[in-house]
Structure 1
Amino acid sequence: MKEDLDQSTRNRIMQMLKTSGELTAKELTDQLGITGMAVRRHISNLERDDLIESTTIRLPMGRPAAVYRLTARADDYFPKKYHTVALDLLTELEDEAGESMVNLLFERRKATLLKRYETKMAGKELDAKVAALSDIQNENGYMATWEQDSEDEFRLTEYNCPISQVAGKYKQACACELKLFESLLGAEVTRSDCLASGDRKCVYHIRKQ
C-alpha cells in the first residue's frame, strides 16, 4: 500500500512539474498537502533517477530557494503515441500512392540503417557482429540478447519491439528488418518468432554462409 501511495505521489509531482514548468519544494508541499519531509524524500529520489533537476533562485524576501524542473530524460516518462502518427501517415501514403510506395519507403529505411551501422561490423567475425547488432538493437529499445548455439549458428532474441503496432499492419517492416540483419551480418538469417504476429518475442537464427 505504501509503495502504491509513493508511486502516486511521485506521479503527481511529475505531472505538476510538467504543467507548471518549475516549482519550489514549498509550492509542491502546499499543492500536495503532505509534509515537507515527505516531499523532500520524493525530490531526492527523483533527482537520483535523473528525472528532475534544480537551480537556486533569490526570492524577494527570505533565503534563496531551489526550484525544480523536469530533465530531458523525464520526457520519456510521459506517454507517447508515435505509432499512431506513423500508422496514419503510412495509411495516407498508401491511399495516395499505393502499396508500392509504402514498400519503397521501407526499403529506403533499410538502406539508411545499413549505411548507419555497417561501419560497426567492418572487419569483425560473425560472433562479434552478432554482439554488435545486439548492442545496436538495445540502444533502440528492443531488449535484445544473443547466444551461440553451435560453432556456426547464433540466436538473437528481442523481447520488445518499439514499432510493433506499425509492423502488425505493415509486414514490410519485419521483412526489411530481416534483410537488414542479413546485410549487416553477411549471414543467413531466419525468424522463428515475431512479436508483431503475437509471439512473446522475436527470435532470429543466424548461420554462417
Structure 2
Amino acid sequence: MNHALETSTRKVILSMLKTQGPLSVHDISKQLGITEMAVRRHIHSLEKDDLLETKLVRQAMGRPSNVYTLAPQADELFPKKYMQLTLDLLDELLEGEGQEKIERLFEGRQAKLESRYQSRMSEKSLEERVAELALIQNENGYMVDWSQLGEDAYMFSEHNCPITQVANTFAQACQCELALFRNLLDANVERTECLAKGASKCVYIISQNK
C-alpha cells in the first residue's frame, strides 16, 4: 500500500471514530471494505502516535473485544475556528467599547504574561534571560532561534506567530509583545522585522540597557 493511501486511510479511521464513537476492528473493516489485518496495522500506528484509547468490551456471546476511541490529543487534528472567534469578539468589543478598551485588554494580557514568566528570569544574566525567553516562546509555538551579535547583544528570531491573524488586524498585539520582551529581559529591545507586516519572520535586536 503506498504512503498516500496509508495516510488517507488513517484520516478516514480518525474521522469515523470522531463521528461514530467507539468502534472495533471488525466495525472499521466492514465499513472500509479492507481486511481486519490492514485495520490493525493502522490502529497500531495510531496507538503508537498516542491518538487512540482502547477499551475491552464484554459481549453477550463470545470473547470480549477491544473497541477504540480517540485520545484527547487527537482532537487537535480536526479543524478549529478559535482564531476567527477571537477576531469576531475583538471586533465586537472595538465596535461597542472603542479603541481604548482594546488597548486595555492587550495591556492586561501583557501584565498577566509578565507575572507568569517573571520568576523564570530572576538572577539570570542577559544571555540566560534571552535563552529562557526563547524557551518560553517555543513552548508557545513561536519557533525561535537566537544568536549573539556581540558583547551583550543578541538577535532573536520568531519564525512562526500563532496569533498572526490577530496581529494583522490589531497592532496592539505586536506592541504588547515588544513591551513584554523589554520588561522580561530588562533590556533594550527593537523589532526590525515583523510577520504581521509581511516579513518572513519577526526579528528582535536585544542589547543591554545603558
Partner of 1:178: 178
Q: Where in structure 1 do 4 or more consecutive aligned residues deviate above 6 Å?
A: none
Distance 1:195 1:105 in 2: 22
Following superposition, the deviation at residue 158 of structure 1 comes to 1.3
Matched, 1:105 2:121: no
Partner of 1:116: 116
Partner of 1:207: 207
Q: Could you give the per-residue CA deviations for residues 6-42 of structure 1, whole angstroms, max 9, x where no partner exists? A: 1111111111111112111111111111111111111
Distance 2:150 2:37 in 1: 57
* RMSD (CA atoms): 1.2
Distance 1:149 1:34 in 2: 58
- Given that residues 127 and 152 in structure 2 are in contact (C-alpha distance below 8 angstroms), is that contact kept between their aligned partners in structure 1? no
**Unaligned 5+ residue runs, structure 2?**
none
Following superposition, the deviation at residue 98 of structure 1 comes to 0.6
Q: How does 1:44-193 map to 2 (within 5 A)?
A: 44-193=44-193
Partner letter of residue 114 of structure 2? L
Distance 2:73 2:152 in 1: 40
- Secondary structure of 1:45 counterpart: helix
Scaled by the length of structure 1, what TM-score is found?
0.96
Partner of 1:33: 33
Distance 2:198 2:41 in 1: 41
Matched, 1:17 2:27: no
Following superposition, the deviation at residue 114 of structure 1 comes to 0.4
Q: Could you give the per-residue CA deviations for residues 131-167 of structure 1, whole angstroms, max 9, x where no partner exists? A: 1111111111111222222221112211111110000
**Unaligned 5+ residue runs, structure 1?**
none
Q: Quick one: percent identity of the two aligned structures?
A: 52
- Given that residues 134 and 144 in structure 2 are in contact (C-alpha distance below 8 angstroms), is that contact kept between their aligned partners in structure 1? yes
Scaled by the length of structure 2, what TM-score is found?
0.96
- Secondary structure of 2:66 counterpart: strand
Partner letter of residue 165 of structure 2? Q
